[in-house]
């Protein structure tokens, strides 16, 4: 047996569902620990985090965006909850940087980007602020002593500046002093708002989070998706009409639809249904339609998922990035947990096999951000290995055996004392 065979996430000959086998579950946990070990090198000796190259060495520059800080807090909180020793150091480092650098002492809220100690981008974005809420909820679940203070602060900012009670959705962006920046409205910030509010509900039990997450889901999956053949347009006007002519940043606000976001929203719909007592008779069917449409539209010849689609489902940008695969894995794993069907297992094995053969870096750890049609690593818009958040969740969510977040029956004790990384 060669090395690659030893590293396969499961055996294609095994009957049943991979997530029920010890071989696959052991593989998932080992891969999660390899990622947590690799990204532990992100922590600077000074405030902030490094971006890591493919080999794990720090890249030059000190630019740090809000979603990077908060996703590292969230990811290592999940690592702490799964027993990874040393996660506390990353959580503490991120929480300190949020307070010392991202938090705007003059106007309130959180600044989007810092370059060392200098403000690089002072916009106030809903996308960034909902990730602050996610970080605070995850840190609270991990037992961090400053989590409640952070959650109280970001909740008040979201309430005052971003939440549109009439629409039941988040507004997107402001200048630093909270003067209007644009009338843009988007799905992405709202989707991650659902993610953050479900986490906040689990951390606090406050049902306002569950209720508001449901309102966002009702708009996008209950209203928009059925009228768009189960595809989700990304961009909207200030009165929440689809803006089909929007042409923003082609990589970070691409036109058309983004199937990776359909996977995320589908999984979040299932999570919300689970946390709400599974009372909505239509939630499971809506989530399945959304996930299935994205898989069928976006799966490319030779493997991989297209980055974007036209409104009718034709491939617009065939770039193969790592994160849509991870979100598809999480979505299909959620379906298997609730409504297992043979076709779900077929997709689950296909997705993991492709990810393992192309994106997982078996030499250094972490995942490569982009590959070509032949599965070879390519240079992309992403520097180095930019993110642990997506790929870590792809490993941990199937292991949890539930649709809510990975919360063990007995939480590991939180300590701010230095610990040895996983051994």
**Would you say residue 31 lies in a domain?**
yes
Segment 103-125 mean pLDDT? 97
pLDDT band at 2 (very low <50, low <70, confident <90, very high): very low
Residue 62, pLDDT score: 93
Q: What are 256-283's pLDDT values in tens digits?
A: 999 999 999 999 999 999 999 999 999 9
**DSSP class of 349:** H
**Would you say residue 47 lies in a domain?**
yes
Position 49 pLDDT exceeds 50: yes
Segment 401-421 mean pLDDT? 49
Closest CA to 147 of 133, 136, 157: 136
Position 351 pLDDT exceeds 90: yes
Segment 345-354 mean pLDDT? 97
Q: What are 389-406's pLDDT values in tens digits?
A: 999 999 999 998 655 554
Residue 412, pLDDT score: 60
Q: Which of 102, 261, 362, 364 is catalytic?
A: 261
Residue 380, pLDDT score: 85
pLDDT band at 11 (very low <50, low <70, confident <90, very high): confident
* Domain that includes residue 369, residue range: 16-400
Position 296 pLDDT exceeds 60: yes
Residue 408, pLDDT score: 45
**What mean pLDDT, rounded, does the chain reach?**
92
Q: Are 53 and 37 in contact (CB under 8 A)?
A: no
pLDDT band at 409 (very low <50, low <70, confident <90, very high): very low
The percentage of the chain sitting over the pLDDT mark of 90, rounded to a whole number, equals: 87
What is the C-alpha separation between 72 and 95, in angstroms, rounded? 10
- Mark whether 390 is an active-site residue: yes
What is the C-alpha separation between 356 and 261, in angstroms, rounded? 21
Please identify which residue in the block is written with the tokens 């409504």. 339
**Would you say residue 114 lies in a domain?**
yes
Return the CATH number at 95.
1.50.10.10
**Would you say residue 53 lies in a domain?**
yes
**Would you say residue 115 lies in a domain?**
yes
pLDDT band at 363 (very low <50, low <70, confident <90, very high): very high
Tally of structural domains, the chain:
1
Going by DSSP bridges, is the β-strand pair 320-321/370-371 parallel, antiparallel, or unpaired? antiparallel
Segment 63-71 mean pLDDT? 97
Residue 4, pLDDT score: 44
Position 7 pLDDT exceeds 60: no
Instruction: Report the chain's C-alpha Rg in angstroms.
Output: 20
**Would you say residue 8 lies in a domain?**
no
- Mark whether 80 is an active-site residue: no
Q: What are 75-106's pLDDT values in tens digits?
A: 999 999 999 999 999 999 999 999 999 999 99
**Would you say residue 61 lies in a domain?**
yes
264: CB partners within 8 A, 6+ apart = 191, 195, 327, 330, 331
What pTM did the predictor assign? 0.94
**Would you say residue 415 lies in a domain?**
no
Which own/partner contact pairs does 393-397 have at CB distance under 8 Å and 24+ positions apart? 393/75, 393/78, 393/326, 393/330, 394/325, 394/326, 394/327, 394/329, 394/330, 394/355, 395/28, 395/29, 395/31, 395/32, 395/35, 396/28, 396/32, 396/78, 396/82, 397/267, 397/330, 397/333, 397/334
Please give the residue that has the higher pLDDT: either 2 or 170: 170
């Amino acid at each position: 047996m060669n090395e690659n065979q030893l590293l396969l996430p499961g055996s294609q000959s095994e009957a049943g569902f991979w997530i029920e086998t010890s071989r696959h579950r052991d593989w998932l946990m080992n891969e999660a620990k390899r990622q947590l070990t690799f990204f532990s090198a992100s922590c600077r000796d000074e405030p902030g985090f490094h971006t890591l190259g493919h080999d794990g060495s720090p890249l030059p520059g000190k630019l740090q965006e809000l979603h990077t800080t908060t996703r590292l807090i969230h990811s290592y909180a999940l690592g702490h909850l799964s027993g990874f020793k040393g996660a506390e150091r990353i959580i503490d480092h991120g929480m300190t940087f949020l307070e010392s650098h991202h938090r705007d002492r003059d106007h309130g809220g959180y600044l989007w980007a810092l370059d060392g100690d200098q403000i690089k981008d002072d916009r106030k974005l809903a996308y960034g602020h909902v990730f602050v809420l996610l970080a605070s909820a995850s840190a609270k679940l991990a037992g961090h002593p400053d989590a409640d203070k952070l959650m109280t602060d970001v909740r008040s900012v979201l309430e005052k500046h971003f939440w549109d009670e009439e629409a039941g959705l988040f507004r997107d962006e402001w200048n630093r002093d909270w003067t209007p920046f644009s009338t843009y409205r988007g799905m992405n910030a709202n989707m991650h708002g659902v993610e953050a509010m479900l986490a906040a509900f689990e951390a606090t039990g406050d049902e306002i989070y569950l209720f508001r997450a449901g309102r966002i889901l009702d708009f996008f999956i209950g209203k928009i998706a059925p009228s768009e053949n189960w595809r989700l347009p990304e961009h909207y006007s200030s009165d929440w009409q689809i803006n089909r002519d929007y042409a923003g940043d082609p990589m970070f606000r691409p036109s058309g639809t983004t199937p990776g976001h359909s996977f995320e929203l589908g999984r979040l719909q299932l999570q919300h249904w689970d946390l709400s007592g599974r009372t909505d008779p239509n939630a499971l069917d809506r989530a399945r339609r959304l996930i299935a449409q994205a898989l069928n539209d976006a799966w490319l010849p030779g493997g991989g998922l297209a980055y974007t689609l036209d409104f009718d489902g034709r491939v617009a940008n065939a770039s193969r990035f790592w994160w849509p695969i991870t979100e598809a894995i999480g979505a299909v794993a959620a379906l298997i947990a609730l409504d297992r069907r043979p076709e779900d297992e077929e997709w689950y094995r296909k997705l993991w096999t492709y990810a393992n053969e192309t994106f997982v870096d078996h030499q250094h750890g972490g995942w490569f951000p982009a590959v070509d049609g032949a599965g070879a690593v390519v240079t992309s818009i992403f520097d180095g290995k930019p993110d642990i958040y997506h790929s870590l969740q792809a490993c941990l969510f199937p292991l949890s055996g539930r649709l809510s977040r990975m919360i063990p029956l007995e939480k590991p004790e939180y300590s701010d004392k230095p610990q040895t990384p996983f051994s």
